[in-house]
Amino acid sequence: MYYNKVEICGINTSTLKTLTDEEKDELLKKTADGDMNARRDLIDGNLRLVLSVVQRFGGRGESADDLFQIGCIGLIKAIDNFDISVGVKFSTYAVPMIIGEIRRYLRDNSMLRISRGMRDLAYKALGAKDALSKKLSRDPTIEEIAEMLGEKPSDVSAALDAIVAPVSLYDPVYNDGGGDSIYLLDQISDVRSVDESWIDDIALSEALKKLNERERAIVTMRFYKGKTQMEIADEIGISQAQVSRIEKTALERIKKQL
Position with higher pLDDT, 255 vs 157: 157
* Mean pLDDT score of the chain: 78
- The amino acid present at 113, given as its one-letter code, is R
What is the helix, strand, coil percentage profile of the chain, to 5? 65, 5, 30
Q: What is the pLDDT of residue 17?
A: 77
Q: Looking at the whole model, is its pTM more than 0.75? A: no
Q: What is the pLDDT of residue 89?
A: 84
Please report the sign of the dihedral spanned by the C-alpha atoms of residue 129, residue 131, residue 136, residue 138: positive
Cα separation of 190 and 194, whole Å?
A: 7
Please report the sign of the dihedral spanned by the C-alpha atoms of residue 18, residue 24, residue 27, residue 32: positive
Instruction: Give strand pairing partners of 253.
Output: none
Cα separation of 68 and 82, whole Å?
A: 21
Q: What is the pLDDT of residue 48?
A: 87
Residue range 241-254: average pLDDT? 87
Residue range 215-220: average pLDDT? 88
Q: What is the pLDDT of residue 146?
A: 93
Cα separation of 221 and 1, whole Å?
A: 43
pLDDT 10s digits, 99-157: 888 888 887 665 556 677 787 888 899 889 888 988 888 889 999 999 999 999 999 98
Q: Residue 5: which of 70, 13, 48 has the closest Cα?
A: 13
Q: What is the pLDDT of residue 93?
A: 87
Least confident of 125-129, 136-140, 191-195, 248-252: 191-195
Q: What is the pLDDT of residue 1?
A: 36
pLDDT 10s digits, 50-91: 988 888 877 666 778 888 889 999 999 999 988 888 777 888
**Above pLDDT 90, what percent of the chain?**
16
Cα separation of 179 and 76, whole Å?
A: 42
Cα separation of 154 and 129, whole Å?
A: 15
CA dist list (Å): 214 to 43, 126, 251, 253: 61, 49, 13, 14
Least confident of 3-12, 78-87, 128-137, 194-203: 194-203
